[in-house]
Structure 1
């Protein structure tokens, strides 16, 4: 209980599964690769606004929701919500371009 209280006081709640706090941002991008074996998506994205404040580049993200791996394919363009925590970079959601 003492460790949990200290984590809350530090501004981050930590449970057995890891930190609940993460930096997030939104970007426009294009899916370059989907790897269902590893659960990863390569995204060529524009600048990421928000807490991440990242320039445009191509990089690999882990899919937070496995259903994204079935819904996205190379060439898909849209708006993505991404995050970074101690475990790496994640795609939280994807809204395809219409």
Structure 2
């Protein structure tokens, strides 16, 4: 996690390649965070695994976040 914006419910993430239906190249980008995700538990510098989907407008939304285990 590069940054957390609690007011906008967004996090900036640098991620590797994403496979599956929402395929993406490695990049740094901001994602909206779903209401069910505990945003206060996330902080800059954390390494996480996450699940994303697209909303009705086609925007990416993080639906699930869990700490990355070494």
More helix by percentage: 1
After the TM superposition, which segments of 4 or more aligned residues of structure 1 sit over 2 Å from their partners? 65-68
Structure 1 range deviating more: 36-45 or 58-67: 58-67
Contact 1:35–1:69 (CA under 8 A) maintained in structure 2: no
Contact 2:50–2:63 (CA under 8 A) maintained in structure 1: yes
Contact 2:16–2:25 (CA under 8 A) maintained in structure 1: yes
Q: Which runs of 5+ in 1 are unaligned?
A: 1-30
Residue equivalent to 2:66: 95
More strand by percentage: 1
TM superposition score normalised by structure 1: 0.63
Larger Rg: 1
The CA RMSD over aligned residues, in Å, is 1.4
Residue equivalent to 1:76: 46
TM superposition score normalised by structure 2: 0.85
Aligned length: 68
Deviation at 1:77, TM superposition (A): 0.4
Q: CA separation in 2, counterparts of 1:38 and 1:87?
A: 18
